[in-house]
Amino acid sequence: MIKLIQATPQFGFRLKLVFSDHSWGELDFKPSLQRTGSLLEPLRDPIYFARCFIEMGALCWPNGLELGTESLRQKLVNSDALHKSGREAA
């Protein structure tokens, strides 16, 4: 089972995500943040957005929002942004 092992904030509500199989990609969260919802509201602040962390393989924020590895990887695949080589992820 592939797990999320690193999430690094980038400019403009983007995160560089690295997975246990050494694949990686940059995911733009700006479209998701345009939706409504009490858990998404705090993430519209760039400083709060950057407070993401990984817990038990899920991407999390302090307000309780959790995103699973499979859905994150699928979004990267769908946008043709998942890179298979781990060498560029450093």
CATH of domain 4-89: 3.30.2020.10
Spell out the domain ranges in the chain.
4-89
Residue 20 exposure: Cα atoms within 13 Å on the Cβ side: 10
Could you identify the residue written with the tokens 């904030």?
9
Count, in order, helices (H) and strands (E) of the chain.
3, 6
64-75 residue pLDDT tens:
999 999 999 999
24-80 residue pLDDT tens:
999 999 999 999 999 999 999 999 999 999 999 999 999 999 999 999 999 999 999
Spatial separation of the C-alpha atoms in residues 62 and 15, rounded to whole Å = 16
